[in-house]
Amino acid sequence: MRKSHIDYLRTMVESVVIDGIHLFAPEPDSKKQGKFLETYPTNDSFQRLLPLCVINSVRINDNLDARQNTETRVKTVDKIDPILDVEGNKILRTARTDFKQEFKYTLHFLVKNPTRDINSDIDSLGILDQCKLYISENPKTQSRVLIPAGSISTDNLTYPIGVDVTGSELITQYAGEGLYILALDIIFRDRLVTLVEDLAIGGTLKVLQPIEVIKN
């Protein structure tokens, strides 16, 4: 999961209003658990938190060969405004795409009464329709560029990514327990982008060697 994705989903979910109430807004008491969760809660707190929205699953598709030219293996790059180092030398910067990625999140809205979504209408939209409308009005968000250790750049660099809905459904197998699940699949078309710095000296370019970043 990516923090930028989670922040987007949280804002979307907390914007849902049913009968004048923000259904999934956090409790006024900050010590209490919120109603948008990244994992399912324990059984003893499950019913107490309803209604609830949980990230049920995340699937990631990675495309390592997302390059402009598969023969020369030149990766997609985007120019970024240059900066000056402490000695006044001009540093040229590019954002290199290492992977193209698709993150597919499945959200579960756990409710006791699905009537509002079953009878969703233009004058009283249900939970799923409100989320779809939010994505329609906010089809893009921002992700951060990876800045390797030792880089001169210290600014917060971001790039736009697209957001879309790929499906939704009403799950009724828990109806006997008085619980319904509204499922919504949302996809983020993201990238794994690394900052590359080139030092321009006397009209020539000296490429700064990239530093390998290892994640344990």
- The pLDDT score that the predictor gives to residue 215 is 35
* Nearest by Cα to 50 from 23, 12, 77: 23
* Nearest by Cα to 113 from 206, 175, 157, 197: 175
On average, the pLDDT of the chain sits at 82
- The pLDDT score that the predictor gives to residue 33 is 61
Q: Write the CA distances from 32 to 35, 40, 48, 58, 116, integer angstroms.
A: 10, 15, 11, 25, 27
Residues 151, 195 contacting (CB under 8 angstroms): yes
Residues 11, 24 contacting (CB under 8 angstroms): no
Residues 168, 128 contacting (CB under 8 angstroms): yes
Structure tokens at 168: 């939704």
CA–chain centroid gap for 190, Å, is 8
- The pLDDT score that the predictor gives to residue 87 is 82
- At 187, give phi and psi (nearest 5°): -115, 135
Instruction: Give the whole-angstrom CA distance, residue 139 versus residue 164.
Output: 7
- The pLDDT score that the predictor gives to residue 156 is 85
Helix, strand, coil: what percent of the chain each, to 5?
15, 45, 35
> pTM to 2 decimals?
0.82
Low-confidence ranges of the chain (pLDDT < 70): 28-33, 44-45, 65-76, 175-176, 201-216
Residues 99, 62 contacting (CB under 8 angstroms): yes
Give the relative orientation of helices 3-14 and 127-137 as an angle to the nearest 10 degrees: 130
